[in-house]
Structure 1
C-alpha cells in the first residue's frame, strides 16, 4: 500500500482547519502557535499526499476548494474524538449564530430552536431577527453561521440549500364568499379588498403583472411586509391576501382559510451559509433537526 493511502498527519489536518477558519496562513499560524512557513508546508504536504488543490488565492485570502470542504467535513469525527480525549471533563458549549427574517423567526424558528436545545442541552443558540438584506449581510460578514431566507439569489460568498418549496395561496376570512372555492384565479380579485405585500417583495411585482394581464382591479386597502401581518389583517376582516403559506399554515387560525391560488408564483425557503468557511457542526445538526421536525402541510413540499 502506498504511503499516500496509509499515512495520516493530524498537524496537517489541524493546519487545514485553521486556514479554513481564518482565511490566511498568518491567521492559522497565530491560532495554532506555529510559524507561517510551517502552516504553508503542512498544506502543501497535504495537497501533495491527496493529489488535490485545497485552496485558491482570492485577493489576500485563501478560499477553500470543494475538496477542502469535503475533507474538512470528513474530519469532524476525528476532531470530536480528540476533543473528548484531550478536552475538559465538562462538555464545551458550542454556539450557533442564527439569523432570519420575522416571518420565519417569531413562531416557526422559536419553536424549532426550543426543540433543538431540549434535545441538545450542551448547545447554545443566538437568534437575531432581521430583514432579508440583513440576513445576507450577516452571513457575508461572518457575523452568523446560518440564515433562513425566502429570496432567490446568486452571489459570490453565499451558498443556498433549498429547504421547502411552496405554492401561492389565498388567505381569506372563513365566511368570505370565495372561501368555499376549490381554487382562486386572478380574475376573482376584481373589486375585492386586497391586503398586499410591500413592493420590496419580488412576488408583489408578479402579482401586479397578473392583475394587469387579466385586467383585474382589486382594491388595495393595506400593504404589509410579512405574511403573518397579512394573515392577521385578513382575520380582522379587512380583506384577502396572496401569500407564501410556509410557515404560516402551521399556525393558522380557525377564523381564516387557505385556498390554492392559480398562478406561476412559487416560493422557496433556503438555508443560507457562507461558501468561504466550513459550516459548523452545530449548524449542520440544526438543519438536520429542522428537516426532521418540520410538520408537513398541503401546500409545501420538502426539498
Structure 2
C-alpha cells in the first residue's frame, strides 16, 4: 500500500490515531465508535486514512473482525505511549484548572515550620495527594524576601517583618510559656511571674524579635533584670538550651513539641506575652485556589493540632 505523503513524510491526524487507539483497546470498530461517540463508518474511514498514511496494513479483516497485524501491534506500542502522555497532560490540566498549579511553595519561620506547618501539610495532602509541596525554614526576614521575589507562594513570619511589597494577614497569637530545666526549683510553681526571674540565668530571644521587646517591657515594668547568658533567634533553641540547664527561657508554645517528653518543664508566664505571626502572600497569588486550600489547612492546624 503506497503512502500518500510529500517527500516521504507521514501526515497523521489526531482523529486517525484516536480511532486506531480506540479499536485496539476496545477490540472492534463498533465499540470504538461508542467510546468516541461517533458513527462506525467514521471510525472505519479514519482507520482507512491512517493505513493510507503509514503505508502498511494495521489490521487483517477476518470474517468481519479486525485482527491486528504484526506491524499494527508494533505501531500501537508507540501510539499507546503517546496516549498515556496525553492522559498525564489531561490530569495536569485538571490540576491547574482546579488548583492553579501542580505545586505549592511554603516558607516559614522555625517556630511554626517544625510543628504547625507539617501538620497542615499532612491535612492538605490528605485532600490533595497529587500536589507537590516545597517547605523551606528560614528567618522571618528571609521568608519575606522569598515571597516578595516570587520564589515562594506563602510565607509564615513573625510580626516584626517588613510588610512592604507583600499581601499579609494576621495568622495567630501564641502566648509565651516559661521553659525550665528539669528539676528546677521554680517548677514547683503553677505560674511563673516576671519577678521570679530576677537575677536568674536566662536564655533570651534575639534583640530584633518583637516578642523579645515585649518581654523586656514586662521585666522593666516589674523592676526585674534576668541574667542573660545566651541570645538566640529560635524558640526551639531556647528549649534545647534550657533542657541542658543553661538557663530559663520564654518560648513560643508552637515550638515546644517533644521537649516535655525529654524532661523540659513548661509553665504559664505572667504577665501575658504573645508571639504574633503573619501570613504573607505575593500580591498575585492570594486568590489562587491552591493557595486558598493550603491557607485553610494552616488555619485549621492552629486549633486542632492532633487531628
Q: TM-score with structure 2 length normalisation?
A: 0.61
For residues 187-228 of structure 1, what are the alpha-carbon distances to aligned partners after superposition, in whole Å with 9 as ceiling and x for unaligned?
111221111111121222332233333332322221111000
For residues 98-139 of structure 1, what are the alpha-carbon distances to aligned partners after superposition, in whole Å with 9 as ceiling and x for unaligned?
111222223432343244224322111122222111111222
In our comparison, the structure showing a higher alpha carbon Rg is 2
Aligned residues: 211
Q: Which whole-Å CA distance do the structure 2 matches of 1:179 and 1:142 have between them?
A: 46
Q: Which runs of 5+ in 1 are unaligned?
A: 1-85, 298-303
Alignment of 1:80-95 (within 5 A): 88-92=89-93, 94-95=102-103
For residue 138 of structure 1, what is the aligned residue in structure 2? 146
Q: Which whole-Å CA distance do the structure 2 matches of 1:205 and 1:234 have between them?
A: 20
Asked if structure 1 preserves the Cα contact closer than 8 Å seen for 2:201 and 2:248, the reply is yes
Structure 1 residue 191 corresponds to structure 2 residue 199: yes
For residue 98 of structure 1, what is the aligned residue in structure 2? 106
Matched position secondary structure for 2:186: coil
Matched position secondary structure for 1:261: strand
For residue 239 of structure 2, what is the aligned residue in structure 1? 231
Alignment of 1:63-212 (within 5 A): 88-92=89-93, 94-152=102-160, 155-212=163-220
Asked if structure 2 preserves the Cα contact closer than 8 Å seen for 1:195 and 1:223, the reply is yes
Q: What is the RMSD of the two structures over their aligned residues, measured on CA atoms?
A: 2.6
Q: TM-score with structure 1 length normalisation?
A: 0.62
Q: Which runs of 5+ in 2 are unaligned?
A: 1-86, 96-101
Q: Decide whether aligned partners of structure 1 residues 264 and 111 sit closer, same or farther in structure 2, where only a CA change above 3 A counts.
A: closer
Q: Decide whether aligned partners of structure 1 residues 264 and 106 sit closer, same or farther in structure 2, where only a CA change above 3 A counts.
A: closer
Q: Which whole-Å CA distance do the structure 1 matches of 2:205 and 2:239 have between them?
A: 11
CA-CA distance at 1:156 after TM superposition: 3.9
Q: Which whole-Å CA distance do the structure 2 matches of 1:249 and 1:279 have between them?
A: 33
